[in-house]
Each structure stands twice: as C-alpha cells, then as structure tokens.
Structure 1
Amino acid sequence: MTLSIFNLKTWVYYYVELLKRLGAFRFSLILAFAIISSDSLLQILLAYYFHDTLDITALMRSFILGLLITPWAVYFLTVVMGDLEEARQRLDNTVVRLQVMLNSDHKKAQDLEKEIIERQRTQLQLEEGSILLRSFLDTSPDLVFHRDLKGCFVNCNKAMQKLMGKTEQQMLGLTPFDIYDDVYARQVVQHDQQIKDTQQEQLHEYWFQYPNGRQACFEIRSFPLINTKKQCVGIIGFGRDITERKRHQESLEKASRDKTTFIATISHELRTPLNGIVGLSRMLLDEPLSVEQRQYMKTIHMSAITLGNIFNDIVDLDKLDRRRLNLVSNHINMYDFVNDLKSLAFIQTEQKGLLLNFEQGSMLPDNIEADDTRLRQVLWNLISNAVKFTQQGHITIRLFAKRQNDQHAIIYFEVEDSGIGMQDSELDKIFSLYYQVQGNLHATGTGIGLAVSQQIVNAMGGKLSVKSVFGKGSTFTFSLPVHCPKENKKKALVTPLPYLFILLVEDIELNILVAKSLLEKLGHRVDVAKTGQQALDKMAINSYQLILMDIQLPDMDGFQVTQTLRALYGKSLPPIVALTANVFSDKSVFLEKGMDDALGKPLNAGLLNEMIARLFLGVDKTDNHKKIESTTDIDTVLNKSMLLELLEFISTAIMLENVILFKKVMPKYLQILDSHMTAKNKKGIVNEAHKIKGAASAVGLMRIQLLAQKLQSPELPAWWDNIDDWLSLLKSQYQSDIIILQHWLVE
C-alpha cells in the first residue's frame, strides 16, 4: 500500500512536471491523443482476446467521440491540476512561513521562559536578601527605624522594639509624640524637618529608659531616604548605645579632676612650709649676719625657692595637660628686668663657685610687653639647668635684640655653660617630658622643666633651641617676638604710705609668723584671726583699715567670708585683699569673687607697698571704695544702654522676674551643653550656645552673651583648644553676673 501510494505520488509528480513543461493546451492535446489511442488499442486487444469481430464503424465512432470530448475533459482536468498545483505551492509557501513563524515563536517562547525563570530566580534572591537583611538588622544591637514624611513609623528592628517596649506592628503609624516625651519628640520633629530641608545627616544624643527602668545613652544618626528622582521620601535612623563610652569618658574626666584636686591640694600644703622658709630667710638676710651665716642663709633661701619652682613645674604641667595655662601681657622695664636676672644668676652661680659672664647688647628696647612671670620662669629653668650640669667653669648669659620696626623687636636670650654637654642623640630628647640628661650623677630633677619651658615659649610665640658639644658644654637660645611700647613713666609717690590697722586671716602658724613679722616691720599694727568665724567676730568689735584674707581656712573659704562681710557691712567695709599660695597670673578671678586685690605668699614688701599705695594713697576710705567699685568694670558685665532702654517700656519687677527665669533655665542649658561637649558634637555646641547667647542678651548680661558668642563660633582661631576655658568662665561667672544685674536693677 505504501509502495502503490508512493508510485502514485511519483506519477502525479511526473504528471505535474510535464504539465508545467508543455503548458496546459499542448499537454491537454497530447494527453487526449494518448487516451484516444489507448482506447482504440484497448478495443483492438479486447476483440482479439475474445475472438470477436472488430467493428470499424464502432471503432471510428469511439475515436471521433474521444476527439470531441477527451481534449476538453483533459483540459479541464489539467486546469484543475494546475490550480491545485498552484494551491499546493501556495500552501507549501504558507507552511514554510508558518514553520518560520513557529520557529520564531518557539525561540521567543524559549527566551520568555528563560526570562521568567531568571525573574523567578532574581525574585527568590531578593526575597532571600531581604530576609537576610532583616535578620541582620534584627540581630544588630543598634537601633534601626524608618519614618515617613509625616513622621509616622514605617518599620523598625528588634532593638528599637525592645527599647520602646512595643512590637513593630504596634509601632506602625505612631508618631514621635506617641512614644517619646514631649521635649524629645519636639527635638525629633525639628531634626526631621532639618533633614528634609537640607537633606543632610543630623546627629544627636539622648538618654532613653528601657521598660525595666534601665537608662542608656544613644547616639542617634538620622539620614534622608532618597528615591530615584532624588527626592526625600522618608527618614531613616540608626542609634548606637554609647553608655559605656560615656562612663569611660566620665571616669577619665573624674580622674583628671581628682589629679587636679590632688595637685592643687599637695601644692598648697607643700607651699605653706616653703613660704615660711622663704619669708623668714628673706627677713633674716636683711639682718646683720656673719659671712658664713649669710652664705648658709642664702643656701637655705635658694633651696626653698628651687623646691618651690619644682612645684610650679608640676602645677604648670597639669595646666598644660588640661590646656589651662594662661598668659598675660605685662609692661616690663628691661633695665629692671635685666638687673633682676643678674641677681638671680649670681645667687645660683655663687653657690657652686662658677664664673658668671653677662653680655648685654646695646640694642635692647627700654620697655616690652610680655608675661614677665612666665618669662622669668623659662630663664630660671635655663639658668638652673646650666648651673646643675656645670661643676666648674663658667656660665655666660647673653641678651640682645633685633629691631623689626619702632614698635616690634625680637629679644634673644642665650644661656651658655661649660658643663658636661650632651651627645647628639640626646638633643632631640632634651625637651621631652620626664627626660633627664645622662652622665651627671649629682644633677637630679623632675625632667619636666625644659618640657614645660618649651611649651610656654611656644605659647608666647617664641622658639627655644639648644646646641651642645659633649664634654664641653651647652648653649640654650630663647627668642621671643615682643611689642615695644613707648615708656610710660609712673608718677612718683609724694606722700608716705599710711600705717594701717590690719586684720590678718590665716590659719598656718608659720605663715602668721612670716606675714606678721613683715607687716610689723613696715610699721603696721596686726590682729590675727585663724578661722572665718573668728574674722567675723573680730570685725564686729574692731575697726580695721585693711583685711588680708587667706583663701583656704578650716571652717570656710576666704570667698565665703568675704561675701558674708560684704552683706553685713556693705560700703563701710575696708578693702579685702586675697592671700594665696597658688601661682596666679590674673587678679580678675579674685576681683570677680568680691576681693579688692590679691597678693601671693610669702608676702613681698615691694608688692605689699604697691597694693597699699593703690588702695590708700591720696584718697579716704569712702572715695577709695567708690574707685574699687568702678574697677570691677560693670560695663563689661552688663549691657546698660540696652537695659535702660528696656526699662522705659517694662517695669523693674518684670525685669527681675526675667532674670529669675534666666537663672532657672541656665542649669538645663549648661547640662545640655556639657552633653554635647562630651560627645564632641560641634553642631550641638553651637546650637546650645546660641540659646544661651540669646537668653543672656535678652536680660542684658553682656559678658555671658560674649562668652556664649565665642562658644558658638567654631570659625574662631583655636576654637576647640579654648572652648573648655570659655565654658568654665561661663559656668563660674553667670551666677555672680546675675547678682550684679539684680543689684543694678534694684538700685
């Protein structure tokens, strides 16, 4: 069956091919002739096979009928076959096109299937990544949260849920006012608004309370959530627990405070007997003594001074460590300064039998502006070191200046010795803290004098350097740029100093002996009170002309006694002068706390006479007190012009209420400012200082306003180095300034 069908298809194929080759008409004639011929031949063969008579008429009739009908039938069949062939060809072409389309669709289907599989794989990876990210965020100890532009929480991690005591579902849609206290919620809203306006990070700290009552400090960083169009669509925040860091910082600060307290205490306690030795030896040197006794007394005197300077180095080291070393600018007469320097050097070199050479240039200015205390301290260290490391030979001190113009010059000090010298390897270490030069068993010290000296010189804008040859000596060079003002001659005193009835408030017997001996030697009458209460009792029954007040007393400090006396006696109170064993360079601290002046221990006759001349010479007690009040410079404390204008519109009572309100809010402002200082948050410091400045300005506290202005101005030179000092001044002055303001308003 298959073969016959195959052969039939073959004959059909030949039939169609022949039809195409001959054309429909010719093919029809030939096919018709072939059919008629075949029919005739078939009739002949049939007649012969069946032995029948062949009828020519029937044969012709069949032939003629075939000629008439067969061509048309064949032609019709041929046309039909042609049409069928064309249809077949069109069908083949259609099949081919469909096959091409099918192949194309199949390829597209395969590509689509691959894309679907890839999308499914990507979606699965995204889901896995999302799950991993969520797991990571939930296991993180840091807070993570997301708020929309309306401030509502969208999601948060486990740490945030634990802190708030709510599940994520419970927090959805809540605002900061729903979960925080009102004060912090307002801060959060303000931070969010700043983020939306600036699209910048916001950083702040806050102490949160867990549901169990535990407090923890978190550093919160908030960022804008930006979409593909660079639009802010929400707020995302992270919070890190910094409680341990806070505790560590507090422990460091406490250790620093304890160290400072210890140094101040031990310095005071050690200075007390030393001041007695210095004071008594100084007085004994004024008495007639034998040469040997005078030499011994000078040794005692200089040894006490040397030990005192070691204490100064220790105190200065602590100040430098806390960046509290204050420099002041004093008017220095170079003639007097050089004479003092010669005396200082002679006393030290004489003890060891060294030759002192003093070489002074002719270009030294008559007067300079510098911190004379620190300048003497540096030169004392250099000369002491030169003497310490020189067993025999000489010490040479050179002074000269290079003028830059009429107002400015550079002063050069050189201290050269013929001592043991130093190796080149030691020159880089000589100014290091606690480093001691090797090679001299008899020279001992703290190893901090040169380190402190170099830092003081750097702070003064100068330069300290050293050159040395081992075994031959060293030369220290100290250069200092200075301002050279025109000489301001002081008027000579035309009247003698008055002899006063003085109340000495002091609790140390040795200090009492030294001070009382000096005062009585100068012609004054002295009464002694050893406690603050004794001072109050003696003031009630005696009329003193001057009070010398020690700061550290057994029952209360000197400032408390002074405040009590001023409250009791007002303007009838005699001048009160502070006595302090601690090194000080600025009397304003004592003046701000109610003192009229300040003197160091042990008492120096020259400085004491200068103080008496300032307070008593040429004026009576009442006029002098008015002058003292003016020296407190109330114009630097209060903005009086603004206050006077303000008092034209509102009453004094309302102003006093505003001052009380300022006094009430200041501790909170300072507490927040301290927290930003701890976090080193410059922006928070600036913002809080701005609030303090505005509040101080509103009540006319100009000094507090100016300090706050400095705190909020990070563009100032060395802002971060000075900010601790400004904050300390702000804390120490605002209460006394409030009292001054209240008194001024009442008066």
Structure 2
Amino acid sequence: MDSASYLKTLISRWGVELSLVALLALAFSLFQDTKLFETASAPITPLSDEAAKSVKDLVKIFDKAKLHQRSYLKTRSNEDLQVYNQQVTLVNTKMVELTQGVKENPEQQLPVYHFNQLVWGEFDNLNKELTAGKISRNPAQADKLYQTAEGLLKVSLAPKTAFLKFGGVSLSKAECAALVALLLFITMFISRQWHRDEFLEQKSESLTLKNRSLFLDTLLASMSEALIVIDQDGHFTQYNAAAQRIVGTRIKDVFNDWSLHELGFYNVTTGVPFSKEELPFYKALYGETVDDLEIFVKNAAHPEGMYISLSSRCINDIDGSIRGALVVFRDITRRKQIEKEYQKAREAAVEASLKKSDFLAAMSHEIRTPMNGVIGMTTLLADTSLNEEQKEYVGTVKRSAESLLMLINDILDYSKIEAGKISLDPQPFDLRFLVRDMTEIFKPVVSEKGIHFELTMNERSAWNFIGDQGRLRQVLVNLLGNAVKFTSVGTVELAISQFNQKNGKSLLRFEVKDTGPGLREEDRKSLFQKYFQTKDGMKVGGTGLGLSISKQLVDLMGGSIGVESVFQAGSTFWFTVELPQCQAQDLPRSSEVAFAKLFKGHVLVAEDQLVNQRVAISYLQKLGLTVEIAAQGRLALDKVRTGNYDLVFMDCQMPVMNGFESTREIRKFESEAQRNRTPIIALTANGVSSEEHTYKEAGMDDYLAKPLELSRLIEVLHRWLQPNVEVIDLSVIEKLQKFVVKDQNLIAALIEDFELSAPGLIQTMNEAASTGELQAVSEAAHALKSASASLGAKPLAELCQEIEDCNNSQKAKELVAQIELHYTRSLNELNKRKMIWQKSS
C-alpha cells in the first residue's frame, strides 16, 4: 500500500478523532503564546460599487426565484419553472462577480463567503420544495439572508481587537476559532465521506462476490460435465450435481471412510479396479496431468456400469505449491455404445464386402472363361488367311467381345476402387502414340454411324510423360465411348492441351466434345454418381459406372473432371492431370507382338474347359512349343510324376483337384523325389483378387489372367523358357574382343551404342508403320540391321532385312513387334557376355 492510500485509509477510519485532538492542540498552542495577539483598530474598507451591485442583484435574483417557485407550485406553469431555472443560472454568474470584486480586500472575503453560502442554502431549500411539490418552511427563514446583505452594504468603521499575526496575516480570536472549526468540519466531512465510500465499496464487493458465487454454483449445477475440487489431503471439498450422479450420494466421504471398491473405478483395458495411487485425481496431487482417460464405473449408483472420460489438473498456490486438484469428467456411455454399434455395423459391412468380392470373383471366373475362348479363337482366326469380308466379320466379333469384357471390367474395377485395391503404376509413355492407338478402336464405329472424328493436339510439342497410361487410356475410352455412343449426327472431337510448368511437370487438359443430345441441368449434377444413367443412356444401355469410375481414377491421379453441356446442343467432358515430363530415350519399347516360333520346349496345360484348351494349344504351338493337356488337377499331378516338362500352366479352378492343391502336391513330390523344380504358371479367370502372393503361397512361380493376351504370354514364356535359336553369334564378337577404343573394349563400346540407339530406331519403325510410311520403316530397319550384324545378332539382323524388303503395312507392324522381342533378348545376352569378359579380364 502506498503513502497516499495509507493516508486515505487513516482519515476515513480515524478522521474525526484526529480532528478533535488537533483542535485541542491548536487551541492550547494559540492561547498559550500571548505574543501572537495584540489589540488593534482598523477601518473596514467599504465594498466596491461592482461588489455592492452584485450583492443587490443576488438578493433580487433570490426574490424573483422564490416568487416564481411559489407560483409554479400553485399553477404548475412551465413558464414559471423556466424563469426559476434562469434565476438559478444567474446566481452562479453573480457569485463569481462578487467573489472577484473582493479579491483584493482580504477582510471582505470571509463575509462574502458566508453570504454566498446563505444564498446557496436558500436555493437548496427552494429546490427541495420543488422536488417535494409543496412549501415546507416559514417565509421568515430567509431573513438571515437579507440581514447579511444589509450588513455588507453598510459603510461603517468598527474596532477590531485581538488580531492574530501569523505569516503576515492578522486574525481575531473569533476568526481563529472559526477557521479551526471550519478545518475540523472539513476533516470530519472528508472522513465520513471516505468512510462511506469505503463502506459502499466493500458492500459492492461483497454483493459481487455473492452474485459470482451464486452464478458459479448455478453454472456448475447446470453443467453436464462432472466437476470435483480436491484439497491437498485428497478430500472432495466441492462438486456439482453431475459428479454426485456418477460417483454417488456418498461422494463427500471419498478418502474418508469410503473404500476404493465402493468408488468403482475400473481400467477399461484390463478391467482391474484402480488402486489409490493409480486414480487420476490422486495423481494430480503430485503434479501429474491426465487428459481424456476412459474409465469404466460400476458402483452403487450405477450397478449396470457406465463409461466416463476423465481429465485432472493440480491447483497451485501463489508460491507454486500444490493446494489441491481439479477433476473434470463426463459420461461417454452413449458414445461407447455407438462405437460398439459402429463396430458391429463395420464388421457386417466388411462381411458383406467380402461376400460381394467372392460373388464378383465367381462371376468374373464364370464370364471370363467363355470370353477367353471367344477372344482367343478370334485372335487365332485373324492370324489365318482371310478375305476382306471375313476379316471384317472377325474384327466385329472381336470388338464385340472386347466391349463385353469392358463392361465386366467396369463392374470389377468399381469393386476394386471401393475396396481401395486400385493403385497407379506410373511409367514413361508417349501420349501421342497412346492417343492415336486408342482412337483406332473407334474408327469402325464412327464410320458405321457416319459421323466425323477429330483429334486436336500440338504436333510440335513433346508428349512424353510419366504416368499410368493404362488408367489414362481407361478414362479416355470411357469418355470417347460415351461421346460416340450418344452422337448420331455431327462430330466427336478429342482436344488435348499442354501447359508447361517450371517444376518439370505439365498440366494436361483433355476435352471430349460431341454434338449429341446434351444434358439437362438435373442430369449434369448427378452424372458422375455410380449407376446413374440419363433417359437417353437407358435406351442405349451400359452399366452406369463408366463416368463414376473415370472420376475416381482422375481423383486418384490428383486431377479434376467435369462436364459442360447445353441441352440439345452437345456436351464437352473434360479432365485435367499434372504429369512429370520425360525424354524419348526413357520410353519403354513397344510391346506389340505377333505369333512366331520364338521358343522351344515341352509344356503341360492343366485346363478343364475344352475351348480354353484349344486356345492354349493353338497359342503355344504357334510360338514353337510342344503341348500336352490335363483336364483336371489330379491328372496334371500324375503327368508331372511320370513325365518331364519344361513348364506347366495350371488353371486354378478345376474339378476333382483344383490348381492350388495340385501345385502343392507337385512341390511335395519334387521335394521327396529330389527332382528339379518345374516352373508352374497359374491360369486364373479371377479379375478381383489375382494378387501375386496368393499364387506364390501355393508354390506357383507366376500367373496369367484370362482372357490370354499374346504379349503377356510371350513375356511370361521369355522369363521361364529358352529362345528357339541362338540370338548371338559368338564367333563374330570373339573377333572383336582384342580391339580397344579409347581405353575401352570395342565390344563394350558397341554394346553401349547399340543400347542407346536401338530403342529410338524401333520407336521410329513403330510410328512409321502405324502411319503407313514404309520408306521411313525401311531406313530405320537398315540402320538397326547394321548395328545388329556388327555384334552378331543374326536373327535380329535377318528380321531387319525382312522389314527392308516388306511392301505391306500390316506385315511391317507384325515384324516390328517381333524385332522388339529379339532386340530385348539380344541385348540381355550381350550384357551377360560383357559381364563374363569383364570378370575374366
């Protein structure tokens, strides 16, 4: 507390007593010192004219104010009240003038002061009467005012005795007494005033504290969360109704005579009751904080049990010491019940999803098995000598089968997306080649319908990117398929725009525009929902999943998709994706293949379906292999035991013994008989769950999905069988082994050049063959022939010579596909030889 506050407190509490003591001390001092008083006589200076006039004006103002005050009390006239208020205002002005008039005469200041006090007192009485609405005093009460005014206006001389000389000022004894009395009055008034203010302040603080306490009690009582305040001894000193409902009516006895068993707090995980040291509100007394701890409560108040979430904090004193703890907890029983219900619903949903997956797997197997026969036999038929009409019929059958397979894949893909089993496989690819290859699918349909198809993309730009071209193709096929399907007259256009980015990526925008019937606004909003079809869509058929799958695939690629449409004027479907750019040398080599006797060996095909048997036999025989058939798993096991095969193709679903059981028995037999391991390739029509690890666990080495794809079949055979002919003439490269170029073996330098230049030449042949530019194909083949012959790759060089002499675009495409395979084999063999020579040297 500072000195000013201390002085105020002292005066407010002891001001009266101190004033009396000071008065006695001053009076004693004054009258003991006789030198302070002396008798004198001095004339009284008369008032100035201005001061005298102010006294007279004040008397007149008072008379006029009293007159109109009386009149107002009788008539209640606003005019009287207005005049009265004007006189009150004039009083202040005249008093100031009077005070200024006696400023230079100290002996006149005290009488003038008393006169001013009388005037204020009379006006105060008039105001009180106005407030009360009636006259409450005798008119003669104002006589003192008039007498004082007359005294001030008299001009006379009066003797003045007993002056007090103090600091150059002379005062009489009466004036000294009056001054002391005034000081006493002021001190007592200030003391009482401050005492009253202090009392009112304390009263206000007390009322505020009571209101706050009432508010807090009401707030705590209305809280759904339970709150408990614990002292440093562990006793529950304060709590609300919610806490009492949870803990019980004996809450105040906790830690007094209540056992922990009666408290009934159990660990949710272990179901063991908490010990005293484990209780969160006990830990808080040692400074440990607990947040949202779930506790199971089972006590007398809740015999059926309930769940609470508890948090606790310690309560610190000013000096930082722990004075108690605050515990807050809430009832979470309903939430736990919802969680249990949600868990049950989730388990039911998972079970339903598994059943759906099983159904889709079964459906996939049942449909894909005959589709394998349809597509396989049409592929074989297309490889025979056919006239133009027959080729057209075969192409229509094959495209129809592929369309049906696409519908099946839509359903299966959507199931995979829902199960989160779809993932992207980003690889370098040429977008220009992909788009041109894909648009070939729609040329027959567009031609039949008599509509135009346009492709717009900047030919000068580089279109090499890294992304999942399979999923990109799927989205484009869906959008283009819809555009062609719904457009009867006009044009379908695919426009692709590229916007280069600074971070090595490009933003690609694909737009599929058509002049079809367009979309209504309500259809446009629901277009990308699963199974949704417009009225026009229901007429032409479909699953209603294509656009939904497209949206989810674009979302998976981090892009966006939308549609702009005007009813009866056409639609524009668009999507954007951002893909990293890549160089031409990063592009994978073409995977287009054709039938050729590329392999040698003896293979066993375990397949129960007759059509699938014929497809497998024809495919494998055309690739140069000897084939045997086993109609079921038991027969396949017997053939492996008694025969010798370079490779086994094992169908997974067969009667008597399925492919998984047969494979396990074969591996068991090989282990017991100490025979070499025969590679086993799974044949599966399961389009949903064909994960590689499933077949690995059964002992299979690889797998092929039905319908069989020739490129995939050749790829698998290449991994597990030897080629039909020697791909490298060792006598040629042995002659080059002794030559050195720039401190590098000539063979290593030639292989390095071959690996860098050949992919570009093969890519050029592919693109030129697709556009029918046979001269460009011949030139690229000639360059590749020279490089191949110099390294002893005779089969590859012979193929290049055949392409040089070829005058048919379709035949050139088939030969380029074979070149791709021979190049891969030749390069692998050359690299093996190079490693052997490097180790030997």
Class of the TM-score when normalised by the shorter of the 2 chains? 0.5 to 0.7
Report 1:687-698 matches (<5 A): none
Task: Give the SS at the match of 1:442.
Answer: helix
TM-score using structure 1 length = 0.53
- Which residue does the alignment assign to 1:736? none
Letter in 1 for 2:426: S
Structure 1 residue 345: deviation in Å?
Answer: 1.9
- Which residue does the alignment assign to 2:582? 484
Deviations 1:671-693 (A, max 9, x none): xxxxxxxxxxxxxxxxxxxxxxx
**More deviation, 246-255/382-391:** 246-255
- Which residue does the alignment assign to 1:527? 630
User: Is 1:328 the equivalent of 2:425?
Assistant: yes
User: Is 1:260 the equivalent of 2:357?
Assistant: no
Structure 1 residue 608: deviation in Å?
Answer: 1.3
- Cα 1:332–1:92 shift into 2, 3 Å: closer
Report 1:18-33 matches (<5 A): none
Report 1:115-194 matches (<5 A): 132=218, 135-136=221-222, 140=224, 144=227, 167-169=250-252, 171-172=254-255, 179-181=265-267
CA contact (8 A) 1:367 1:486 kept: yes
- Which residue does the alignment assign to 2:480? 383
CA contact (8 A) 2:606 2:629 kept: yes
Letter in 2 for 1:250: Q
User: Is 1:372 the equivalent of 2:469?
Assistant: yes
CA contact (8 A) 1:209 1:216 kept: yes
Which of 707, 710, 713 is the aligned partner of 1:605?
A: 710
- Which residue does the alignment assign to 1:270? 363
Report 1:55-454 matches (<5 A): 132=218, 135-136=221-222, 140=224, 144=227, 167-169=250-252, 171-172=254-255, 179-181=265-267, 203-204=291-292, 206=294, 208=296, 210=298, 218-221=308-311, 234-241=325-332, 242-254=335-347, 256-258=349-351, 260-285=353-378, 286-287=380-381, 301-318=398-415, 320=417, 325-332=422-429, 337-338=434-435, 340-349=437-446, 352=449, 354-357=451-454, 361-363=458-460, 365=462, 367-397=464-494, 413-422=510-519, 430-431=527-528, 435-437=532-534, 442-454=539-551
User: Is 1:457 the equivalent of 2:554?
Assistant: yes
Which of 561, 574, 589 is the aligned partner of 2:678?
A: 574
Structure 1 residue 441: deviation in Å?
Answer: 6.3
Structure 1 residue 384: deviation in Å?
Answer: 1.0
In 2: Cα distance, 1:495 partner to 1:194 partner: 86
CA contact (8 A) 2:483 2:516 kept: yes
- Cα 1:204–1:542 shift into 2, 3 Å: farther
Task: Give the SS at the match of 2:604.
Answer: strand
Deviations 1:686-718 (A, max 9, x none): xxxxxxxxxxxxxxxxxxxxxxxxxxxxxxxxx
- Which residue does the alignment assign to 1:689? none
In 2: Cα distance, 1:448 partner to 1:514 partner: 31
CA contact (8 A) 1:144 1:237 kept: yes
Which of 587, 591, 604 is the aligned partner of 1:502?
A: 604
CA contact (8 A) 1:271 1:308 kept: no
- Cα 1:283–1:203 shift into 2, 3 Å: same
Structure 1 residue 406: deviation in Å?
Answer: 12
Unaligned runs of 5+ in 2: 1-175, 725-841
Letter in 2 for 1:275: R
In 2: Cα distance, 1:573 partner to 1:581 partner: 25
CA contact (8 A) 2:632 2:655 kept: no
Task: Give the SS at the match of 1:362.
Answer: coil
Deviations 1:294-352 (A, max 9, x none): 66665554444434434444444455556554111124355763454133223543564
**More deviation, 313-322/339-348:** 313-322
In 1: Cα distance, 2:233 partner to 2:603 partner: 76
Deviations 1:508-543 (A, max 9, x none): 88767765665566543332446xx88778766666
CA contact (8 A) 2:428 2:465 kept: yes
- Cα 1:183–1:580 shift into 2, 3 Å: same
Aligned residues: 527
**More deviation, 253-262/404-413:** 404-413
CA contact (8 A) 1:499 1:525 kept: no
Deviations 1:469-503 (A, max 9, x none): 65454444455434324436669999932444335
CA contact (8 A) 2:236 2:252 kept: no
CA contact (8 A) 2:604 2:645 kept: yes
CA contact (8 A) 2:650 2:681 kept: yes
User: Is 1:615 the equivalent of 2:708?
Assistant: no
CA contact (8 A) 2:221 2:241 kept: no
Structure 1 residue 371: deviation in Å?
Answer: 0.9
Identity of aligned residues (%): 24
CA contact (8 A) 1:278 1:301 kept: no
In 1: Cα distance, 2:232 partner to 2:179 partner: 64
Structure 1 residue 383: deviation in Å?
Answer: 1.7
Structure 1 residue 246: deviation in Å?
Answer: 0.6
In 1: Cα distance, 2:669 partner to 2:479 partner: 50
- Cα 1:127–1:364 shift into 2, 3 Å: closer
Letter in 2 for 1:276: T
CA contact (8 A) 1:468 1:474 kept: yes
Structure 1 residue 599: deviation in Å?
Answer: 2.8
CA contact (8 A) 2:511 2:574 kept: yes
**More deviation, 435-444/559-568:** 559-568
Letter in 1 for 2:337: E
TM-score using structure 2 length = 0.48
Report 1:42-53 matches (<5 A): none
In 1: Cα distance, 2:188 partner to 2:501 partner: 99
CA contact (8 A) 1:427 1:466 kept: yes
Task: Give the SS at the match of 1:384.
Answer: helix
Report 1:679-694 matches (<5 A): none
- Cα 1:166–1:284 shift into 2, 3 Å: farther
Structure 1 residue 558: deviation in Å?
Answer: 7.5
Structure 1 residue 375: deviation in Å?
Answer: 1.3
**More deviation, 322-331/432-441:** 432-441
> CA-atom RMSD, angstroms?
6.0
Task: Give the SS at the match of 2:429.
Answer: strand
- Cα 1:95–1:335 shift into 2, 3 Å: closer
In 2: Cα distance, 1:295 partner to 1:556 partner: 42
- Cα 1:329–1:253 shift into 2, 3 Å: same
Task: Give the SS at the match of 1:328.
Answer: coil
Structure 1 residue 378: deviation in Å?
Answer: 0.6
In 2: Cα distance, 1:560 partner to 1:235 partner: 66
Structure 1 residue 609: deviation in Å?
Answer: 1.4
CA contact (8 A) 2:431 2:464 kept: yes
